[in-house]
Amino acid sequence: MIQRAGLFDRHMRGEQFGEARPRLADRIGADDVAEMGCAGGQVVAETLSGFRVLETSHPPTYYLPPGDVAAGILGPAKPAGVCEWKGRAVLHDVNGPGRRAPGAAWSYPNPTPDFAAIAGYVAFYAGPMDACFFDEARVEPQPGGFYGGWITPGIVGPFKGGPGSMGW
């Protein structure tokens, strides 16, 4: 694991404002399970690996290996915005039984060199999913709908995305 103790522990205590932005904090592993559910209770992705990315004033964002996403769940990649740190993103619709969540997942096919490890890995917005879990804790979406951080017990804000935070 890469810098697991220092960065994540400080982030959980609300010290994310002092972090360099953003940072590929660590690989999630055997002690962590990230799971996304979509309509109809179908699990759309589950992993024991992947990466946790920390950014200043954000809860963690989790990037999952594409092989841990259920077959046929993701729609074709559509061009999206550019992150000054990670590069050009693409959005994917998430297709569950009887339900489509437009643009509910994203990835970086060709990220910047500092984020090469997440090339093709998939992150999910928690809000459009029926439920998302990390280590059995139900995830709350980052406020505002634009950012994709996952808030779980022990992760403290305030977080960018809510009213009045765009200038942070």
Whether 36 is covered by a domain: the verdict is yes
pLDDT digits (tens, 9 = 90+) for 144-155: 888 899 998 888
Q: Is residue 168 part of a domain?
A: no
Would residue 99 count as lying in a domain? Answer: yes
The answer to whether residue 167 is domain-embedded is: no
* Count of C-beta atoms within a 10 Å radius of residue 52: 24
Q: Per the domain annotation, does 9 fall within a domain?
A: yes
pTM (2 d.p.):
0.81
Q: Could you tell me the residue range of the domain that residue 21 belongs to?
A: 4-151
Domain count, the chain: 1
- The pLDDT value recorded for residue 39 is 47
Between 89 and 129, residue with greater pLDDT: 89
64 beta partners: 122
pLDDT tens figures, 89-123: 999 999 888 888 999 999 999 999 989 999 999 99
Position 25 pLDDT exceeds 70 = no
In this predicted structure, what is the pLDDT of residue 71?
Answer: 92
CATH (domain of 49): 2.170.150.40
